[in-house]
């Protein structure tokens, strides 16, 4: 029996299952690892980090005991560096490029980054100051990693920045979407505080398109940054989706981040539909909510799943089972309208489709029934179409079109960064890339507004 389930049975608070799962380094561990670094000239890890953190620089500062300097080096390059230390797929990024992969084992860059930023959080350090005001005003829609990073850079360049955020708390998916046992909410809210200290105003509970019109922002500000990310999990499109016991993975995680734990999961059989990071988070959350058995149902195979390797390993360690080449066909309910079975069909992979991946095709007559108590839907995210169209922006099925160098959209006053520009084979939905795009967007706006000022003199 897993410790997680024992916690429930022994009456421990369900909440303790959602505590951060990995401990931070202690001083000795941090020093031992920092002192293994070769401090390479032209370090490949810097190039592999989308935000270009001076990794040897921050590690050297840990080794010499300059903790504030270390945290500043990290956060300078990455305004959400504390979150990234916990959620970056480091084996594909910085650690994957470490030269020590060829001999011993890579430097645990993410863990050292966490050690340095945790120090800053514990010591309530304020790391940056705003620039001298230049009289220009920027509106940012969305306070996720992209919006916050853009705001931080613009405030340091002297702009008055107002962020409009639909939710009651800022931080985007770092605050409400990534599971608390990998990224506690407090970490993301500390990053938000760092940005507020620069004078950035964050108006929460302000949904652009409903509480304020897009055209008002475009008219009243010198530039607008659209950093609204993506939206809800879409409908699967099968019979029975309206039954009781069907959850949206992102909503489920958000509830746990806000301290609400669904007791319905205790002792139940859960099927999670999808195999990306959202599905893994939905599955590991279900385990922590006390589910007796959790299966991930995916119509392709392990080779095509989009979840990061470390997420996949994490789920396997949690006892999550995987059913490859399986697709849901319809849901069946009990007499009270609660889901009790899922009809599935086996799939086979055919030639590569337009999306560059093998096309899954049903094997006729292979239908079978699976007993389930709860379904967690995690088949990706829809787009904020209404708002994108409210701004009148060109897009490709909700992926906002930008100039790849300047991040300018089809409206020269509106820029876009983060998940809102991810998709159709462009980019990756990652916190660290959203952060870098936020920074790039800020610099691009600064460049254009500087030019406009000079031309108007």
Ligand X SMILES: Cc1cc2nc3c(=O)[nH]c(=O)nc-3n(C[C@H](O)[C@H](O)[C@H](O)COP(=O)(O)OP(=O)(O)OC[C@H]3O[C@@H](n4cnc5c(N)ncnc54)[C@H](O)[C@@H]3O)c2cc1C
Among ligand X, ligand SF4, none, the one that 144 touches (CB under a kind-dependent 5 to 8 A) is: ligand X
Measured between alpha carbons, how far is residue 31 from residues 65, 207, 332 in Å? 9, 46, 56
Among 416, 432, 442, 449, binds ligand SF4 (CB under 6 A): 432
- State the Cα–Cα distance between residues 272 and 252, nearest whole angstrom: 12
Nearer residue to ligand X within complex by CB, 201 or 244: 201
Q: What's the rounded Cα separation, in Å, for the pair 285 and 177?
A: 12
Stretch that binds ligand X, among 22-30, 169-177, 332-340, 343-351 (CB under 6 A): 169-177
User: Which residue lies nearer to ligand X by CB, 82 or 178?
Assistant: 178
78 binds, among ligand SF4, ligand X, none (CB under 5 to 8 A by kind): ligand SF4
List the single partner that 167 binds among ligand SF4, ligand X, none, CB under 5 to 8 Å by kind.
Answer: ligand X
Contacts of 81 (CB under 8 A, 6+ apart): 51, 53, 74, 75, 113, 117
Task: Scan for tokens 């490029």, then name that residue.
Answer: 97
164: partner contacted, choices ligand SF4, ligand X, none (Cβ within 5-8 A by kind): ligand X
Establish if 188 lies at the interface with ligand SF4 (CB under 6 A): no
Site map (CB under 6 A) of ligand X, residues 189-228, x = contact? ------------------xxx-----------------xx
How far, rounded to the nearest angstrom, does the alpha carbon of residue 7 sit from its chain's CA centroid?
28
Position 419 contacts ligand X (CB under 6 A): yes
Determine if 4 is a binding residue for ligand X (CB under 6 A).
Answer: no
Cα→Cα distances 431→80, 131, 328, 386, Å: 8, 25, 31, 24
442 part of the interface to ligand X, by CB under 6 A: no
β-pairing, 293-297 vs 321-323, is parallel
Binding characters for ligand SF4, 390-429, by CB under 6 A (x = yes): ----------------------------------------
Q: Tokens 């959850």, residue?
A: 247
How far is it, in rounded angstroms, from Cα 281 to Cα 286? 8
The residue written with tokens 């059913």 in the block is 323
* Contact code string over 91-130 relative to ligand SF4, x by CB under 6 A: --xx--------------xx--x-----------------
The secondary element (H helix, E strand) that includes residue 416 is strand 414-416
Sign of CA dihedral 101, 102, 105, 107: negative
Per DSSP bridges, beta strands 293-297 and 326-333 are: unpaired
- Partner interacting with residue 93 (select from ligand SF4, ligand X, none; CB below 5-8 Å by kind): ligand SF4
CA 126 to chain centre: 24
d(C-alpha 82, C-alpha 431), whole Å: 11
How far apart CA 394 and CA 370 sit, in angstroms, is: 43
Q: Which is nearer to ligand SF4, 55 or 225 (CB)?
A: 55
- Show contacts with ligand X in window 289-348 (CB under 6 A): none
Binding mask 86-125 for ligand X (x = CB under 6 A): -xx-------------------------------------
Shortest distance (Å) from residue 338 CB to ligand X:
25
Nearer to ligand X, 227 or 344 (CB): 227
Helix (H) or strand (E) holding 340: strand 339-352
Q: Of ligand X, ligand SF4, none, which one does residue 51 interact with (CB within 5 to 8 Å by kind)?
A: ligand SF4
Q: Whose Cβ is closer to ligand X: residue 67's or residue 294's?
A: 294
Beta bridge partners of residue 296, listed in sequence order: 272, 322
Site for ligand X contains 143 (CB under 6 A): yes
In terms of DSSP bridges, do strands 368-371 and 339-352 run parallel, antiparallel, or are they unpaired? antiparallel
As a whole number of angstroms, the distance between CA 218 and CA 405 comes to 21
397 with 355: CB under 8 angstroms?
Answer: no
173 binds ligand X (CB under 6 A): yes
Residue 280 in the binding site for ligand SF4 (CB under 6 A): no
Say if residues 281 and 178 touch (Cβ distance below 8 Å).
yes
Could you tell me the smallest distance in angstroms from the CB atom of residue 151 to ligand SF4?
Answer: 18
The residue among 162 and 175 lying less far from ligand SF4, judged by its C-beta, is: 175
The reply to whether 165 sits near ligand X by the rule CB under 6 A is: yes
Residues recorded for the chain:
457
Which one-letter DSSP state was computed for residue 337? S
Residues that bind ligand SF4 (CB under 6 A): 49, 51, 53, 55, 78, 81, 84-85, 88, 90, 93-94, 109-110, 113, 432
Residues that bind ligand X (CB under 6 A): 87-88, 141-147, 164-167, 172-173, 177-178, 207-209, 227-229, 250, 253, 277-278, 281, 384, 387, 418-419, 429-432, 434
């Amino acid at each position: 029996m897993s410790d997680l389930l024992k916690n429930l049975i022994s009456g421990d608070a369900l909440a303790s299952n959602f505590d951060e799962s990995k401990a931070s380094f202690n001083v000795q561990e941090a020093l031992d690892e920092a002192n293994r670094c070769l401090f390479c000239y032209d370090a490949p890890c810097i190039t592999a980090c989308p935000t270009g953190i001076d990794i040897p620089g921050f590690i050297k500062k840990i080794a010499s005991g300059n903790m504030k300097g270390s945290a500043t080096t990290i956060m300078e390059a990455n305004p959400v560096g504390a979150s990234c230390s916990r959620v970056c797929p480091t084996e594909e990024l910085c650690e994957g490029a470490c030269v020590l992969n060829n001999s011993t084992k890579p430097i645990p860059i993410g863990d050292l980054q966490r050690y340095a930023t945790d120090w800053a959080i514990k010591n309530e350090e304020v790391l940056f100051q705003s620039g001298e005001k230049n009289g220009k005003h920027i509106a940012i829609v969305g306070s996720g990693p992209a919006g916050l990073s853009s705001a931080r850079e613009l405030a340091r360049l002297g702009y008055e920045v107002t962020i409009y955020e639909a939710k009651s708390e800022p931080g985007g998916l770092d605050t409400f979407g990534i599971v608390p046992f990998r990224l506690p909410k407090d970490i993301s809210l500390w990053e938000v505080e760092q940005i507020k200290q620069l004078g950035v105003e964050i108006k929460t509970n302000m949904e652009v398109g409903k509480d304020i019109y897009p055209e008002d922002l475009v008219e009243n500000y010198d530039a607008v940054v659209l950093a609204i990310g993506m939206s809800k999990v879409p409908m699967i499109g099968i019979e029975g989706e309206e039954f009781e016991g069907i959850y949206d993975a992102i909503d489920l995680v958000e509830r746990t981040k806000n301290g609400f734990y669904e007791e319905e999961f205790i002792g139940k059989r859960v099927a999670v539909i999808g195999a990306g990071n959202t599905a893994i988070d939905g599955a590991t959350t279900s385990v922590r909510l006390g589910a007796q058995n959790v299966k991930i149902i995916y119509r392709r195979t392990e080779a095509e799943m989009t979840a990061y390797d470390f997420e996949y390993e994490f789920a396997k360690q949690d006892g999550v089972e995987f059913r490859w080449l399986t697709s849901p066909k319809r849901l069946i309910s009990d007499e009270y309208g609660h889901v009790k079975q899922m009809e599935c069909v086996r799939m086979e992979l055919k030639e590569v489709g337009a999306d560059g991946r093998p096309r899954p095709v049903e094997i006729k007559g292979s239908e079978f029934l699976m007993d389930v108590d709860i379904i967690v839907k995690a088949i990706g995210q829809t787009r904020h179409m209404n708002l994108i169209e409210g701004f009148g922006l060109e897009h490709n099925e909700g992926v906002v079109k930008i100039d790849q160098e300047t991040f300018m959209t089809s409206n020269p006053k509106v820029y876009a960064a983060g998940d809102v520009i991810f998709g159709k084979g462009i980019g990756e939905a990652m916190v660290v890339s959203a952060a870098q795009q936020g920074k790039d967007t800020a610099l691009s706006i600064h460049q254009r507004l500087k030019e406009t000022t000079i031309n108007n003199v």
